Structure 1
Amino acid sequence: MDMQGSRHLAVTQQQAWEALNDPEVLKICIPGCDKVEATGENQYAIGMAVKIGPVAARFNGKILLADVLPPNSYTLAFEGQGGAAGFGKGSAKVNLAPAVEGAGCELAYTAQAQVGGKIAQVGQRLVDGVAKSMAEDFFRRFDEEMQRRHPVEVAAEKALAGAEAALPSPRKMPIWVWIVFAVVVLLALLLLAR
Protein backbone atom coordinates (compact mmCIF):
# COMPACT_ATOMS: atom_id res chain seq x y z
CA MET A 1 0.00 0.00 0.00
CA ASP A 2 1.38 3.41 -1.01
CA MET A 3 0.04 6.67 0.40
CA GLN A 4 0.88 10.36 0.37
CA GLY A 5 -0.70 13.43 1.83
CA SER A 6 -0.27 16.83 3.40
CA ARG A 7 -1.76 18.83 6.24
CA HIS A 8 -1.65 22.43 7.42
CA LEU A 9 -0.79 22.71 11.13
CA ALA A 10 -1.61 25.83 13.17
CA VAL A 11 1.66 25.68 15.14
CA THR A 12 5.14 26.70 14.02
CA GLN A 13 7.44 24.27 12.24
CA GLN A 14 9.62 23.96 15.36
CA GLN A 15 6.61 23.33 17.62
CA ALA A 16 5.29 20.66 15.22
CA TRP A 17 8.73 19.00 15.05
CA GLU A 18 9.03 18.88 18.83
CA ALA A 19 5.49 17.53 19.28
CA LEU A 20 5.86 14.85 16.60
CA ASN A 21 9.05 13.68 18.31
CA ASP A 22 7.61 13.72 21.84
CA PRO A 23 6.60 10.22 22.98
CA GLU A 24 4.01 11.65 25.41
CA VAL A 25 2.29 13.69 22.67
CA LEU A 26 2.25 10.69 20.35
CA LYS A 27 0.86 8.43 23.06
CA ILE A 28 -1.99 10.91 23.63
CA CYS A 29 -2.72 11.36 19.93
CA ILE A 30 -2.38 7.86 18.45
CA PRO A 31 -5.70 5.99 18.73
CA GLY A 32 -5.38 2.84 20.83
CA CYS A 33 -1.79 3.61 21.84
CA ASP A 34 -0.69 2.90 25.39
CA LYS A 35 3.10 2.89 24.98
CA VAL A 36 5.64 5.01 23.13
CA GLU A 37 9.09 4.72 24.62
CA ALA A 38 12.50 5.82 23.41
CA THR A 39 14.77 2.77 23.20
CA GLY A 40 17.84 4.52 21.81
CA GLU A 41 18.81 7.45 19.66
CA ASN A 42 16.01 7.89 17.08
CA GLN A 43 14.48 4.54 18.10
CA TYR A 44 11.12 3.91 19.72
CA ALA A 45 9.00 1.01 20.93
CA ILE A 46 5.23 1.29 20.54
CA GLY A 47 2.29 -0.68 21.88
CA MET A 48 -1.29 -0.28 20.74
CA ALA A 49 -4.62 -1.99 20.30
CA VAL A 50 -5.98 -2.10 16.76
CA LYS A 51 -9.32 -3.32 15.42
CA ILE A 52 -9.83 -3.75 11.69
CA GLY A 53 -13.17 -5.35 10.91
CA PRO A 54 -13.40 -8.62 12.83
CA VAL A 55 -9.67 -8.64 13.63
CA ALA A 56 -8.69 -7.07 16.95
CA ALA A 57 -5.27 -7.43 18.50
CA ARG A 58 -2.58 -5.84 20.57
CA PHE A 59 0.43 -4.88 18.49
CA ASN A 60 3.97 -4.24 19.60
CA GLY A 61 6.33 -2.55 17.22
CA LYS A 62 9.44 -0.52 16.75
CA ILE A 63 10.27 2.61 14.83
CA LEU A 64 13.63 3.83 13.61
CA LEU A 65 14.21 7.37 12.36
CA ALA A 66 16.92 7.97 9.74
CA ASP A 67 18.08 10.92 7.63
CA VAL A 68 16.98 13.21 10.47
CA LEU A 69 17.25 16.91 9.51
CA PRO A 70 15.61 18.89 12.36
CA PRO A 71 13.15 20.60 12.05
CA ASN A 72 12.63 19.77 8.37
CA SER A 73 12.46 16.05 7.63
CA TYR A 74 13.22 12.43 8.45
CA THR A 75 12.60 8.94 7.15
CA LEU A 76 10.72 6.55 9.39
CA ALA A 77 11.02 2.74 9.19
CA PHE A 78 8.50 0.73 11.18
CA GLU A 79 7.46 -2.82 11.88
CA GLY A 80 5.00 -4.37 14.27
CA GLN A 81 3.66 -7.77 15.29
CA GLY A 82 0.18 -8.64 16.47
CA GLY A 83 0.54 -12.38 16.99
CA ALA A 84 -2.04 -14.35 15.00
CA ALA A 85 -3.61 -11.08 13.79
CA GLY A 86 -0.62 -10.43 11.59
CA PHE A 87 2.10 -7.89 11.03
CA GLY A 88 2.75 -4.51 9.47
CA LYS A 89 5.96 -2.97 8.16
CA GLY A 90 7.00 -0.11 5.96
CA SER A 91 8.58 3.31 5.73
CA ALA A 92 7.56 6.94 5.45
CA LYS A 93 9.29 10.18 4.46
CA VAL A 94 8.00 13.14 6.49
CA ASN A 95 8.65 16.81 5.65
CA LEU A 96 7.78 19.99 7.57
CA ALA A 97 7.97 23.46 6.02
CA PRO A 98 6.78 26.96 6.95
CA ALA A 99 3.30 27.72 5.61
CA VAL A 100 3.25 29.34 2.17
CA GLU A 101 0.37 31.57 3.25
CA GLY A 102 -0.36 32.73 6.78
CA ALA A 103 1.01 31.27 9.97
CA GLY A 104 1.70 27.69 10.96
CA CYS A 105 3.44 25.06 8.89
CA GLU A 106 2.82 22.35 6.33
CA LEU A 107 3.39 18.65 6.95
CA ALA A 108 3.77 16.35 3.93
CA TYR A 109 4.45 12.63 3.78
CA THR A 110 4.86 9.70 1.43
CA ALA A 111 4.67 6.18 2.78
CA GLN A 112 4.73 2.54 1.79
CA ALA A 113 3.44 -0.31 3.95
CA GLN A 114 2.80 -4.02 3.86
CA VAL A 115 0.48 -6.04 6.07
CA GLY A 116 0.19 -9.78 6.47
CA GLY A 117 -1.75 -12.38 8.40
CA LYS A 118 -5.42 -11.97 9.31
CA ILE A 119 -5.20 -8.20 8.80
CA ALA A 120 -4.40 -8.70 5.12
CA GLN A 121 -7.31 -11.13 4.78
CA VAL A 122 -9.97 -8.58 5.80
CA GLY A 123 -9.49 -6.69 2.54
CA GLN A 124 -7.61 -3.64 1.38
CA ARG A 125 -10.69 -1.39 1.28
CA LEU A 126 -11.43 -2.05 4.95
CA VAL A 127 -7.78 -1.56 5.94
CA ASP A 128 -7.66 1.72 3.96
CA GLY A 129 -10.88 2.93 5.61
CA VAL A 130 -9.58 2.19 9.10
CA ALA A 131 -6.25 3.87 8.26
CA LYS A 132 -8.03 7.01 7.07
CA SER A 133 -10.28 7.09 10.13
CA MET A 134 -7.30 6.65 12.48
CA ALA A 135 -5.38 9.38 10.67
CA GLU A 136 -8.27 11.81 11.03
CA ASP A 137 -8.58 10.89 14.70
CA PHE A 138 -4.82 11.34 15.18
CA PHE A 139 -4.85 14.85 13.72
CA ARG A 140 -7.99 15.87 15.59
CA ARG A 141 -6.26 14.81 18.81
CA PHE A 142 -2.98 16.42 17.69
CA ASP A 143 -4.76 19.72 16.95
CA GLU A 144 -6.44 19.60 20.38
CA GLU A 145 -3.11 18.91 22.11
CA MET A 146 -1.43 21.75 20.21
CA GLN A 147 -4.26 24.10 21.25
CA ARG A 148 -3.67 23.05 24.85
CA ARG A 149 0.13 23.45 24.64
CA HIS A 150 0.32 26.51 22.34
CA PRO A 151 -2.96 28.44 22.71
CA VAL A 152 -1.54 31.78 21.51
CA GLU A 153 -0.19 30.42 18.21
CA VAL A 154 -3.32 28.40 17.45
CA ALA A 155 -5.59 31.36 18.26
CA ALA A 156 -3.51 33.63 16.00
CA GLU A 157 -3.74 31.08 13.16
CA LYS A 158 -7.53 30.83 13.57
CA ALA A 159 -7.87 34.62 13.63
CA LEU A 160 -5.79 34.90 10.45
CA ALA A 161 -7.86 32.20 8.75
CA GLY A 162 -11.07 34.00 9.76
CA ALA A 163 -9.78 37.34 8.40
CA GLU A 164 -8.72 35.75 5.11
CA ALA A 165 -12.08 33.98 4.77
CA ALA A 166 -13.79 37.38 4.97
CA LEU A 167 -11.81 38.66 1.97
CA PRO A 168 -13.49 38.54 -1.48
CA SER A 169 -11.00 36.04 -2.90
CA PRO A 170 -11.43 32.58 -1.41
CA ARG A 171 -8.55 31.14 0.60
CA LYS A 172 -7.04 28.03 -0.83
CA MET A 173 -7.52 25.34 1.80
CA PRO A 174 -4.88 22.66 2.29
CA ILE A 175 -5.75 19.04 1.48
CA TRP A 176 -6.96 17.05 4.51
CA VAL A 177 -5.38 13.81 3.46
CA TRP A 178 -4.51 11.28 6.11
CA ILE A 179 -1.41 12.68 7.62
CA VAL A 180 1.82 10.98 8.17
CA PHE A 181 1.03 7.57 6.92
CA ALA A 182 3.76 6.49 9.20
CA VAL A 183 1.54 7.62 11.98
CA VAL A 184 -1.51 6.47 10.10
CA VAL A 185 -0.40 3.08 8.97
CA LEU A 186 1.57 2.79 12.13
CA LEU A 187 -1.66 3.62 13.79
CA ALA A 188 -3.98 1.86 11.47
CA LEU A 189 -1.70 -1.05 11.29
CA LEU A 190 0.00 -0.53 14.58
CA LEU A 191 2.76 2.03 14.72
CA LEU A 192 3.79 5.59 15.41
CA ALA A 193 5.18 8.53 13.69
CA ARG A 194 7.64 11.13 14.05
Structure 2
Amino acid sequence: MQMTDSQRIEAPRETVWAALNDPEVLKASIPGCEELIKHSETELEAKVKLKVGPVKATFGGKVELLDLDPPNGYRIEGEGSGGVAGFARGGAKVQLEADGPDATILHYEVDAKVGGKLAQLGARLIDSTAKRLAGEFFTAFAEQVGPSVPEDAEESADAFGDADASKEKKGWLGGLFGGKKTEETPQEAAE
Protein backbone atom coordinates (compact mmCIF):
# COMPACT_ATOMS: atom_id res chain seq x y z
CA MET A 1 0.00 0.00 0.00
CA GLN A 2 1.25 3.45 -0.88
CA MET A 3 -0.27 6.75 0.15
CA THR A 4 0.88 10.32 -0.44
CA ASP A 5 -0.91 13.41 0.83
CA SER A 6 -0.51 16.82 2.46
CA GLN A 7 -2.37 18.40 5.37
CA ARG A 8 -2.47 22.06 6.44
CA ILE A 9 -2.17 22.54 10.19
CA GLU A 10 -2.94 25.87 11.82
CA ALA A 11 0.26 26.10 13.86
CA PRO A 12 3.85 27.25 13.24
CA ARG A 13 6.29 24.63 11.92
CA GLU A 14 8.27 24.48 15.19
CA THR A 15 5.05 23.77 17.12
CA VAL A 16 4.06 21.00 14.68
CA TRP A 17 7.58 19.51 14.90
CA ALA A 18 7.44 19.48 18.71
CA ALA A 19 3.99 17.84 18.63
CA LEU A 20 5.17 15.14 16.19
CA ASN A 21 7.79 14.23 18.79
CA ASP A 22 5.51 14.42 21.85
CA PRO A 23 4.20 10.97 22.87
CA GLU A 24 1.15 12.42 24.65
CA VAL A 25 0.03 14.37 21.57
CA LEU A 26 0.64 11.35 19.34
CA LYS A 27 -1.23 8.99 21.68
CA ALA A 28 -4.23 11.34 21.70
CA SER A 29 -4.10 11.61 17.89
CA ILE A 30 -3.55 8.01 16.77
CA PRO A 31 -6.92 6.25 16.32
CA GLY A 32 -7.28 3.35 18.77
CA CYS A 33 -3.97 4.06 20.52
CA GLU A 34 -4.02 2.55 24.00
CA GLU A 35 -0.36 2.97 24.87
CA LEU A 36 2.62 4.89 23.47
CA ILE A 37 6.02 4.67 25.10
CA LYS A 38 9.00 6.74 24.05
CA HIS A 39 12.14 4.68 24.72
CA SER A 40 14.55 7.28 23.30
CA GLU A 41 14.54 10.32 21.03
CA THR A 42 14.23 7.97 18.04
CA GLU A 43 12.42 4.85 19.33
CA LEU A 44 8.73 4.47 20.20
CA GLU A 45 6.56 1.49 21.07
CA ALA A 46 2.78 1.48 20.66
CA LYS A 47 -0.28 -0.65 21.35
CA VAL A 48 -3.21 0.14 19.04
CA LYS A 49 -6.65 -1.48 18.81
CA LEU A 50 -8.10 -1.31 15.28
CA LYS A 51 -10.88 -2.75 13.19
CA VAL A 52 -10.16 -3.24 9.50
CA GLY A 53 -13.28 -4.58 7.82
CA PRO A 54 -14.29 -7.72 9.74
CA VAL A 55 -10.86 -8.07 11.38
CA LYS A 56 -10.51 -6.54 14.84
CA ALA A 57 -7.20 -6.82 16.66
CA THR A 58 -4.76 -5.18 19.02
CA PHE A 59 -1.47 -4.42 17.34
CA GLY A 60 1.80 -4.01 19.15
CA GLY A 61 4.56 -2.30 17.27
CA LYS A 62 7.85 -0.47 17.32
CA VAL A 63 8.75 2.63 15.35
CA GLU A 64 12.11 4.22 14.71
CA LEU A 65 12.65 7.82 13.61
CA LEU A 66 15.48 8.23 11.10
CA ASP A 67 17.10 11.06 9.16
CA LEU A 68 15.96 13.65 11.70
CA ASP A 69 16.10 17.20 10.31
CA PRO A 70 14.43 19.47 12.91
CA PRO A 71 12.03 21.21 12.22
CA ASN A 72 11.85 20.10 8.58
CA GLY A 73 11.01 16.39 8.88
CA TYR A 74 12.12 12.80 9.32
CA ARG A 75 11.65 9.28 8.08
CA ILE A 76 9.73 6.64 10.06
CA GLU A 77 10.36 2.90 9.87
CA GLY A 78 8.33 0.40 11.83
CA GLU A 79 6.43 -2.81 12.12
CA GLY A 80 3.52 -4.11 14.13
CA SER A 81 1.86 -7.43 14.77
CA GLY A 82 -1.75 -8.21 15.55
CA GLY A 83 -1.33 -11.90 16.22
CA VAL A 84 -3.58 -14.00 13.97
CA ALA A 85 -4.94 -10.81 12.36
CA GLY A 86 -1.61 -10.30 10.67
CA PHE A 87 1.15 -7.77 10.55
CA ALA A 88 2.07 -4.43 9.03
CA ARG A 89 5.54 -3.27 8.12
CA GLY A 90 6.65 -0.11 6.39
CA GLY A 91 7.72 3.46 6.61
CA ALA A 92 6.84 7.05 5.94
CA LYS A 93 8.63 10.21 4.98
CA VAL A 94 7.34 13.33 6.73
CA GLN A 95 8.22 16.86 5.60
CA LEU A 96 7.08 20.11 7.20
CA GLU A 97 6.76 23.25 5.12
CA ALA A 98 6.03 26.64 6.69
CA ASP A 99 2.89 28.24 5.25
CA GLY A 100 3.27 31.78 6.53
CA PRO A 101 4.12 32.43 10.18
CA ASP A 102 1.12 30.61 11.69
CA ALA A 103 0.51 27.49 9.57
CA THR A 104 2.37 24.41 8.36
CA ILE A 105 1.88 22.05 5.45
CA LEU A 106 2.68 18.49 6.52
CA HIS A 107 3.60 16.32 3.51
CA TYR A 108 3.78 12.55 3.92
CA GLU A 109 4.55 9.52 1.79
CA VAL A 110 3.68 6.10 3.21
CA ASP A 111 4.78 2.72 1.91
CA ALA A 112 3.48 -0.27 3.89
CA LYS A 113 3.00 -3.98 3.48
CA VAL A 114 0.46 -6.11 5.32
CA GLY A 115 0.27 -9.87 5.81
CA GLY A 116 -1.93 -12.50 7.42
CA LYS A 117 -5.71 -12.04 7.54
CA LEU A 118 -5.25 -8.35 6.77
CA ALA A 119 -3.70 -9.13 3.40
CA GLN A 120 -6.69 -11.34 2.55
CA LEU A 121 -9.09 -8.39 2.90
CA GLY A 122 -7.94 -6.86 -0.36
CA ALA A 123 -6.18 -3.68 -1.39
CA ARG A 124 -9.34 -1.56 -1.66
CA LEU A 125 -10.43 -2.17 1.93
CA ILE A 126 -6.88 -1.70 3.24
CA ASP A 127 -6.44 1.54 1.27
CA SER A 128 -9.80 3.00 2.30
CA THR A 129 -9.18 2.09 5.95
CA ALA A 130 -5.69 3.65 5.81
CA LYS A 131 -7.12 6.87 4.35
CA ARG A 132 -9.87 6.98 6.99
CA LEU A 133 -7.35 6.43 9.80
CA ALA A 134 -5.04 9.12 8.35
CA GLY A 135 -7.99 11.52 8.27
CA GLU A 136 -8.89 10.73 11.88
CA PHE A 137 -5.25 11.17 12.92
CA PHE A 138 -4.90 14.58 11.27
CA THR A 139 -8.21 15.84 12.62
CA ALA A 140 -7.22 14.87 16.18
CA PHE A 141 -3.63 16.09 15.68
CA ALA A 142 -4.81 19.49 14.40
CA GLU A 143 -7.10 19.80 17.44
CA GLN A 144 -4.16 19.02 19.75
CA VAL A 145 -1.72 21.37 18.02
CA GLY A 146 -3.85 24.17 16.56
CA PRO A 147 -5.12 27.24 18.36
CA SER A 148 -7.90 26.57 20.82
CA VAL A 149 -10.90 28.84 21.26
CA PRO A 150 -11.74 29.56 24.90
CA GLU A 151 -15.32 28.63 25.92
CA ASP A 152 -16.18 32.23 26.85
CA ALA A 153 -15.15 33.32 23.32
CA GLU A 154 -17.69 30.84 21.86
CA GLU A 155 -20.39 32.20 24.19
CA SER A 156 -19.53 35.77 23.19
CA ALA A 157 -19.72 34.84 19.53
CA ASP A 158 -23.18 33.34 20.12
CA ALA A 159 -24.36 36.41 22.01
CA PHE A 160 -23.36 38.68 19.15
CA GLY A 161 -24.80 36.41 16.46
CA ASP A 162 -21.47 35.43 14.88
CA ALA A 163 -22.80 32.68 12.58
CA ASP A 164 -19.36 31.38 11.60
CA ALA A 165 -18.22 30.87 15.20
CA SER A 166 -21.50 29.27 16.26
CA LYS A 167 -21.97 26.93 13.26
CA GLU A 168 -19.84 24.14 14.67
CA LYS A 169 -21.45 24.41 18.08
CA LYS A 170 -25.06 24.42 16.82
CA GLY A 171 -24.73 22.46 13.61
CA TRP A 172 -24.87 23.91 10.12
CA LEU A 173 -28.63 24.48 10.17
CA GLY A 174 -28.44 26.29 13.51
CA GLY A 175 -25.61 28.44 12.15
CA LEU A 176 -27.81 29.54 9.24
CA PHE A 177 -30.87 30.41 11.28
CA GLY A 178 -29.37 31.19 14.69
CA GLY A 179 -31.20 28.34 16.41
CA LYS A 180 -30.19 24.93 17.61
CA LYS A 181 -30.30 22.06 15.13
CA THR A 182 -33.17 19.70 15.81
CA GLU A 183 -33.98 16.33 14.35
CA GLU A 184 -36.76 16.36 11.75
CA THR A 185 -39.28 13.60 11.45
CA PRO A 186 -39.59 12.06 7.97
CA GLN A 187 -43.01 13.77 7.65
CA GLU A 188 -41.54 17.23 8.48
CA ALA A 189 -38.70 16.68 6.03
CA ALA A 190 -41.19 15.91 3.27
CA GLU A 191 -43.16 19.16 3.84
TM-score, normalization: structure 1?
A: 0.74
Give 1:22 deviation, angstroms. Answer: 0.6
| SS of 2:84 mapped into structure 1 | helix
Over residues 38-71 of structure 1, what are the superposed CA-to-partner deviations in whole Å (9 max), with x where a residue is unaligned? 1223000010001111111000000001110111
Choose which of 136, 146, 151 in structure 1 pairs with 2:148. Answer: 151
Q: How does 1:1-194 map to 2 (within 5 A)?
A: 1-99=1-99, 103-147=102-146, 150-151=147-148
Range with greater deviation from structure 2 (133-142 or 70-79):
133-142
CA displacement at 1:8 relative to structure 2:
0.9
Which string of whole-angstrom CA distances, capped at 9 and with x for unpartnered residues, describes residues 67-87 of structure 1?
Answer: 101110111001001100000
- 2:131 counterpart SS class: helix
Note the C-alpha offset of 1:103: 3.3
RMSD between aligned residues: 1.8
The structure that has the greater radius of gyration is 2
Partners of 1:146 and 1:41 lie apart in 2 by 20
73 and 121 in structure 1: CA distance in 2 versus 1, 3 angstrom threshold: same
Q: C-alpha separation between the residues in 1 aligned to 2:74 and 2:45?
A: 17
- Give the whole-Å Cα distance in 2 for the aligned partners of 1:44 and 1:102: 30
SS at match of 2:4: strand
Deviation at residue 114 of structure 1 after TM alignment: 0.2
Deviations 1:99-121 (A, max 9, x none): 1x573011101121000000010
Instruction: Give the TM-score, by structure 2 length.
Output: 0.75
User: Following TM superposition, by how much is the alpha carbon of 1:146 offset from its aligned partner in structure 2, in angstroms?
Assistant: 2.1
Q: Is the 8 A contact 2:42 2:65 kept in 1?
A: yes
- In the TM superposition, structure 1's runs of 4+ consecutive aligned residues that sit over 2 Å from their partners are none
* Residue equivalent to 1:173: none
The 1-side partners of 2:32 and 2:124 are apart by 21
2:181: which partner in 1? none
Among all aligned residue pairs of Structure 1 and Structure 2, give the percentage whose two residues are the same amino acid.
43
Residue 142 (structure 1) shift: 1.3
Partners of 2:40 and 2:9 in 1: CA distance: 28
> Shift of residue 141 of structure 1?
1.0
Tell me, in whole angstroms, the C-alpha distance in 2 between the residues paired with 1:105 and 1:27.
Answer: 21
Task: Count residues with an aligned counterpart.
Answer: 151
How many angstroms apart in 2 are the aligned matches of 1:151 and 1:144? 8
Q: Structure 1 CA distance, aligned partners of 2:133 and 2:91?
A: 18
Question: What per-residue deviation string (whole Å, max 9, x for no partner) do you get for residues 11-45 of structure 1?
Answer: 00000001111100011111100111112230000
